[in-house]
Structure 1
Amino acid sequence: MIRYAVVGAGWISQEAFMPAVALTGNSCMQAIVSGSPDTARKLAEFHGVPEVVDYTGYDALLASDRIDAVYIALPNSMHADYTIRALKAGKHVMVEKPLATTLQESEAMIAASRESGAFLMTAYRLHNEPGTHAMIETVRSGRIGDPVYFASTFGFQSQLGNHRLKAGHWGGALPDVGVYCLNAARHVFAAEPIAVQAMSNRPASDPRFMEIDAGMAVTLKFPGERLAQFFCSFGSGTSESIRVVGSLGELILDPAFKFDSALRMTVRVGGSEGTTQFDQVDHFAGQIGYFSDCIVNGVPPEADGEEGLADMRTLLAIDEAARTGETVHLTPMPFRAGIFPDMLRSFAPTKLRLVF
């Protein structure tokens, strides 16, 4: 049983991570690390977590033998610090996306993992989810021919006061939800982008977007003259879709991204159409169960620090392209990761959750 400390007891931990742990059968929560002791104690009592620790006690917890791994769900600007401290203490780390806020931070996190031997996993929950696997396997099979174009949307209305609206934490739709679109495009093409263009919008009258853009439209070029486009937003109606156009047909995944969505895939080839409705599964239980299996078996996770770094390179290039209005060219890089069947995990969701 892999024992986790949850670092950051905000909405995503309450809504998604904490309820999922008990579903896995190979994981449990040992501690909640939080700066809100009253909330943390109520969550600990509800989920049967033995310890509540404030941030000043984080290093002592890491130095103990009471935990094996940490899940970090802090603002983006805090990912690197809390991850590196855990890795140096020999604790495995699952950190939310994006990996960090700079390439230097990302590389330092990877170096800390390499030096300690503890695993670093970027929390790409869809890498363990059935609908995403079906999309990747359909593309790989050649059923729609060679993929030539990828299009995606991921947007919703964010609430005023959310830390994701703060520029100091590298907030905004691009690092928070645009990363899903980018990551999906990379895996559909099994390649890294070589050039990016981007434009953003920021309504002057909306107080949510005083520090960040409301949304961003992005175009990416991949090797082999393949193109991808996506739109991400914190100020749109809910939209979560993927469309892959191939030389013989097309694939549509809609819904495609949200952890409370049951994904649905439509494939159109040669005048025929087929739709697959996937069962609702707990995305977080899938990734927790997978990571704990990796720890138990001593096998590094697929969605490691290098996978997070690959997205970081392009996210920062997209930011630059939106800021300057110029096409930003990326150094060609080999595609090293891949989503494969042995990573698939399916757990029925639970309604047992406490959210403040």
Structure 2
Amino acid sequence: MALEDYFAAFTERDWEVESVDGAVRIAIVGVGGFARNRALPGIESGTYCETTVLVSGSPDRSADVAESFGVEHVIDYDDFLAGAVEDAYDAVYVATPNALHGEYAVAAAERGKHVICEKPLETTVDDAREIVDACREADVTLMTAYRLQCEPTVRRTRELVRDGVVGDVVQIHGSFSHPLLEHARPDSWRLDDDLAGGGALVDLGVYPLNTTRYLLDCDPVSVYACTHSLDDAFAAVDEHVAFQLTFPTATTASCTASFNAHASSQLQLVGTDGMISISSPFGGIVPHKMVVESGDMRMEYTGEPVDEVREEFDYFGYCVLTGTEPEPDGDDGVADIRVIEAAYESAVQSQSVALDFEYDSR
């Protein structure tokens, strides 16, 4: 296929292979900033999901949000766990602090509800496995909310890699930084290790980690990491992290993340015959600007951004309605947590840690 052919239908939903009717009714569990500003608008503008329930620690404060988006039911966490208005939703979107994901995802699965859960799936491999097992036992769909796997730029990049357009991928460079303290209160749950399960690695580094695994379609065999926390605000979690992944293909991925640096993100893949560079892939709105070099040919593509959150929820809804297993499933979420745990172990030991994914095969 000619290089320009990859850009001819850049935003085409290659996963949408059949027509389906209806919409999956969603209960949003955790009405924080991302749910209000990104998830609710994304669902509203999409096709295959609709929000019918909000689950909030402060239902009174969420009433205006419910009214703005035409959501009929607002309940608190205890009512949700007790089964309130369970006939009003078919699936849940879990957007609570990380350490609480399992409690609400498992409760939903036990009631036969499908689950889309924010990343990381949980804070430990064992807790994440409980979510996977509960959803499997209940025979409901489980999707880890890796929205970049639904985003056109990343999906086209995977096609380029699979087709060998840049030869064998030798190096990957990924980075994501965000000045957390400019946007969060000092008591933010992201600064609490018990609730977050880590810092910059868990919240930001997981983006280049998961995207790299997705693009290469394989898991790393080892990780080497180092972490630093200099500001007192990050005493309980990692402020900065750098980690290197080695894959069985001999590809190495060098990744960095920071909670206390200028907002920036980059992703570059260097192959034996070319290079792919994506501008700002992890910052929330992918600008659809990428450069591909293949041999002597160089091509730049710039297009209108697509709301990857809308794509994510439409993909989830489509999978539920068609009975399709989502690519970013529970096992995908478990795999990233296994790497994260090994990375923190590496940072403590100051040495590379081997990874064995056969443990997670079922």
Structure 1 distance, partners of 2:303, 2:109, is 36
Structure 1 residue aligned with 2:189: 163
Structure 1 residue aligned with 2:282: 257
Structure 2 distance, partners of 1:219, 1:312, is 15
Shift of 1:173: 0.9
Shift of 1:112: 0.4
Structure 2 residue aligned with 1:280: 305
Tell whether 2:208 aligns with 1:186. Answer: no
Structure 2 distance, partners of 1:23, 1:294, is 18
Q: 1:62 to 1:95 in 2, by over 3 A?
A: farther
Q: Which residue of 194, 200, 204 maps to 1:177?
A: 204
Structure 2 residue aligned with 1:114: 136
Tell whether 2:128 aligns with 1:101. Answer: no
> Which residues of 2 match residues 310-325 of structure 1 at below 5 A?
310-325=335-350
Q: Indicate the larger mover: 44-53 or 152-161.
A: 152-161
1:78-102 superposed Cα distances (whole Å, 9 cap, x missing partner)? 0111111110110001000001011
Structure 2 distance, partners of 1:171, 1:43, is 30
Structure 1 distance, partners of 2:357, 2:64, is 49
> Aligned AA for 1:312?
I
Structure 2 distance, partners of 1:133, 1:63, is 37
Tell whether 2:51 aligns with 1:29. Answer: yes
What SS does structure 1 have at the residue aligned with 2:45?
coil
Residue segments in structure 1 that go unaligned for 5+ positions in a row: 337-356
Shift of 1:4: 0.6
Structure 1 residue aligned with 2:164: 142
Q: 1:140 to 1:212 in 2, by over 3 A?
A: same
> Which residues of 2 match residues 1-356 of structure 1 at below 5 A?
1-61=23-83, 64-159=86-181, 160-161=185-186, 162-169=188-195, 170-203=197-230, 206-333=231-358
* Root mean square deviation, CA, Å: 1.7
Structure 2 residue aligned with 1:352: none
Shift of 1:319: 1.1
Shift of 1:62: 6.0
The normalised TM-score by structure 2 is 0.89
Structure 2 distance, partners of 1:80, 1:332, is 22
Shift of 1:271: 4.3
Shift of 1:269: 3.0
Shift of 1:334: 11
Structure 2 distance, partners of 1:199, 1:266, is 30
What SS does structure 1 have at the residue aligned with 2:262?
strand
Shift of 1:23: 1.2
Structure 1 distance, partners of 2:83, 2:48, is 21
1:246-265 superposed Cα distances (whole Å, 9 cap, x missing partner)? 00111111111122231311
Q: Indicate the larger mover: 56-65 or 223-232.
A: 56-65
What SS does structure 2 have at the residue aligned with 1:290?
helix
Query: Would the aligned equivalents of 1:193 and 1:222 in 2 still touch at CA under 8 Å?
Result: yes
The normalised TM-score by structure 1 is 0.90
Shift of 1:123: 0.2
Query: Would the aligned equivalents of 1:191 and 1:334 in 2 still touch at CA under 8 Å?
Result: no
Q: Indicate the larger mover: 162-171 or 124-133.
A: 162-171
Structure 2 distance, partners of 1:122, 1:135, is 20
Structure 2 distance, partners of 1:240, 1:334, is 32
Structure 1 distance, partners of 2:269, 2:232, is 36
What SS does structure 2 have at the residue aligned with 1:36?
coil
Shift of 1:277: 1.4
Structure 2 distance, partners of 1:212, 1:332, is 26
What SS does structure 2 have at the residue aligned with 1:235?
coil
Query: Would the aligned equivalents of 1:192 and 1:333 in 2 still touch at CA under 8 Å?
Result: no
> Aligned AA for 1:201?
H
Shift of 1:333: 4.5
Structure 1 distance, partners of 2:249, 2:306, is 35
Q: 1:241 to 1:109 in 2, by over 3 A?
A: same
Shift of 1:171: 3.7
Structure 1 distance, partners of 2:239, 2:86, is 43
Aligned length: 334
Shift of 1:272: 3.7
Query: Would the aligned equivalents of 2:167 and 2:272 in 1 still touch at CA under 8 Å?
Result: yes
Structure 1 residue aligned with 2:17: none
Structure 2 residue aligned with 1:351: none
Query: Would the aligned equivalents of 1:158 and 1:235 in 2 still touch at CA under 8 Å?
Result: yes
> Aligned AA for 1:185?
T
